Structure formats: C-alpha cells, structure tokens
Amino acid sequence: AQSVTQLGSHVSVSEGALVLLRCNYSSSVPPYLFWYVQYPNQGLQLLLKYTSAATLVKGINGFEAEFKKSETSFHLTKPSAHMSDAAEYFCAAGGTSYGKLTFGQGTILTVHP
Amino acid sequence: EAGVTQFPSHSVIEKGQTVTLRCDPISGHDNLYWYRRVMGKEIKFLLHFVKESKQDESGMPNNRFLAERTGGTYSTLKVQPAELEDSGVYFCASSQEALQGYEAYEQYFGPGTRLTVT
C-alpha cells in the first residue's frame, strides 16, 4: 500500500528565510508525486509535480522539490519565504491505483515578519 | 475557464438527517473524484468516476454514502443518515482524460464543503 508522511504539522519561518517542508513516501512502485497548497477558503492548488522526467522539479511561486529515490523523499523548498506563502501544504502520491491520490497529513506554514 | 465548484460551502445538520453535496467539475473533464478530510487527519480518497461510471469506490466508508454522476457532468454525494463521524471537509476534484499516466493524478480541486453533524 502507498503512504505519504509529512514531517511537521506546523512549520514557522521568518520572512526571507528558507522554507523546507518534508515529505517521504512509501510505495512499491515509483510514484508520481505532487505538492498542493491550500490558501484559506480556497481549493487545493497544484504547486508542482514529479512525473519521472526530471528529479528537480520547479513549480509556481518560486517553489521547487527534489525527488530522491534513495531517501524516498520529495521535500519542498523555497529560498526566501514571503508572507503570502502562509498556507497549508499537502504532499500527495499516485501511481498504484488509477486516479487515486494518497495524501500526507498536511503542513501549515506560518511566515512571520 | 471556470474551476471546480462545490455546493454548499458549509452545511450543518443533525445526526440522522440527510445531506446532499454537489460538485461541478471543469468542463470537459471526464474524471471526477471525491475526497474527505476529517479534522486532524489526512485527505482521503472516497471514489472516482470516469464519465458516469464508478471506476473505483474503494474509499467509500459505508453504505450510508451514495455518489452519482448524472450524464457524466456534475456529481452528488449523499449521506443518509448522517452520523457524527461524517463531519469533515469533502473535496471534489476533476482531471482530464489521461493520455500520459501522470495526467490521471493531476487533479484540480474545488474549495470543499465543510459538513458538520451535530
């Protein structure tokens, strides 16, 4: 069975600091991996996706993630946090059952001045 | 292009009552999914439609939940009778026909319906 673990339900950073949100997956087959972001009162928005074409994936709003098979990780990073990055972030995996996404628990990112 | 819409945004009902949630996917998207997030837990898959057919309903909790997708357009999710543990946020998502494998997972989500059962 596929599973996704996000380490840290809450992450707090200062504006301008590095953002690092951790995601590890467990899968019997190489998965497709996604990061979604949810702003208050909005739906989940796709930030970026890994589809096996390249291990370093760039997404919207300056975010990127690196697929590391040896570590079964897909951590999300951004060099410099902005106040507008405050939201909840979800890591998700697909590939073992057609169309079905498996989500991590979510990480709430707080950015303080 | 309009995104995925869901109605209502919030619903508060009493235990034993019936509630129907509606989802309108992005026009032209054959794939429609329902997910649920119970407070403090991860978002969990409920079921997947391809057009009007149920492709996978392995995540449906029990037979109190009934999902339909009339004519392959909008979908409804009915909970009857509702129980306290049904409270949570119900998300709908849609995706286009998957020409490449990963496209089935590149899903567009609605804002969710927050269901509270008291």
**Ordered per-residue pLDDT tens for chain B, 118 residues:** 689 999 999 999 999 999 999 999 999 999 999 999 998 899 999 999 999 999 999 999 999 999 999 888 999 999 999 999 999 999 999 998 876 677 778 899 999 999 999 9
- Mean of per-residue pLDDT scores for chain A: 92
- Residue whose C-alpha is closest to residue A94's, from A7, A35, A54, A38: A35
Residue B3 to residues A69, B29, B67, B108, Cα–Cα distance (Å): 34, 11, 21, 8
Residue B27 to residues A75, B5, B34, B71, B73, Cα–Cα distance (Å): 33, 11, 17, 13, 8
Q: Which residues of B touch A43 (CB under 8 A)?
A: 3-4, 91, 108-112
Interface test with B, best of A7, A35, A44, A60 (most B CBs within 10 A): A44
- Residue whose C-alpha is closest to residue A51's, from A77, A21, A31: A31
Closest chain B residue to A48, measured at CA:
B106
Torsion, Cα B64 B12 B95 B31, to 10 degrees, reads: 30
- Say which range, A7-11, A55-59, B36-40, B104-108, has the weakest mean pLDDT: B104-108
Q: Residues, chain B, total?
A: 118
**pLDDT at position B56, please?**
92
Kindly tell me if the per-residue pLDDT of A1 is higher than 90: no
- Please, which pLDDT band fits residue A99 given cuts at 50, 70 and 90? confident
- Please, which pLDDT band fits residue A80 given cuts at 50, 70 and 90? very high
Across the interface, do B105 and A95 touch by the CB < 8 Å criterion? Answer: yes
Q: Is the Cβ–Cβ distance between B92 and A35 less than 8 Å?
A: no
**pLDDT at position A28, please?**
66
Q: Residues, chain A, total?
A: 113
